[in-house]
């Protein structure tokens, strides 16, 4: 899907949004963890199949990690990048060469961080395809 860049988005994210399209799948993680949850493990083969079918294995994919709000923004930023690196590891094992990996910490939440359900949605890695 296409995502229109908006002023409230970090500049780096706007650049990605202008150049690529986001897959609708999001890889999710447990709190404080960079380990894929069960649904994410099920989504991996689907993403790999899509990338293979559309000839997107060689430097055509960017992973963008996010997290829920933390008391320490640096920790949230690090964890968001570690999550993207976890997805990267799984994709690389299957022949994908990534273009870029980014971590935006707790920026751009897709749900409120006031309840578990929202925090779960915010702990995600997005897949962008060029």
Per-residue pLDDT tens for 6-53?
999 999 999 999 999 999 999 998 888 899 988 999 999 999 999 999
**6-15 contacts, C-beta under 8 A, 24 or more apart:** 9/108, 10/104, 10/107, 10/108, 12/102, 12/104, 13/64, 13/102, 13/104, 13/107, 13/108
pLDDT at position 113, please? Answer: 78
Instruction: Give 72's DSSP letter.
Output: -
With respect to CATH, is domain 11-129 assigned 3.30.565.10? no
pLDDT in tens, 62-97: 999 998 877 788 888 999 999 999 999 999 999 999
**Residue ranges per structural domain of the chain:** 11-129
pLDDT at position 105, please? Answer: 93
Q: What is the band of 116 on the pLDDT scale with cuts at 50, 70, 90? A: confident
Give me the count of residues in the chain.
Answer: 130
Q: 56 in the Ramachandran plot: left (φ > 0), alpha (ψ -120 to 50) or beta?
A: alpha
């Amino acid at each position: 899907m296409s995502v229109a860049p908006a002023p409230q988005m970090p500049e780096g994210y706007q650049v990605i949004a202008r150049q690529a399209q986001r897959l609708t799948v999001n890889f999710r993680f447990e709190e404080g963890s960079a380990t894929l949850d069960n649904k994410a493990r099920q989504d991996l083969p689907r993403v790999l199949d899509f990338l293979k079918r559309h000839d997107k294995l060689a430097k055509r994919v960017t992973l963008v990690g996010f997290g829920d709000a933390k008391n320490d923004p640096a920790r949230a930023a690090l964890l968001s990048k570690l999550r993207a690196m976890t997805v990267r590891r799984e994709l690389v094992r299957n022949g994908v060469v990534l273009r870029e990996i980014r971590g935006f910490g707790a920026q751009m939440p897709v749900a409120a961080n006031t309840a578990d359900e929202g925090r779960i949605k915010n702990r995600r890695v997005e897949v962008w395809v060029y």
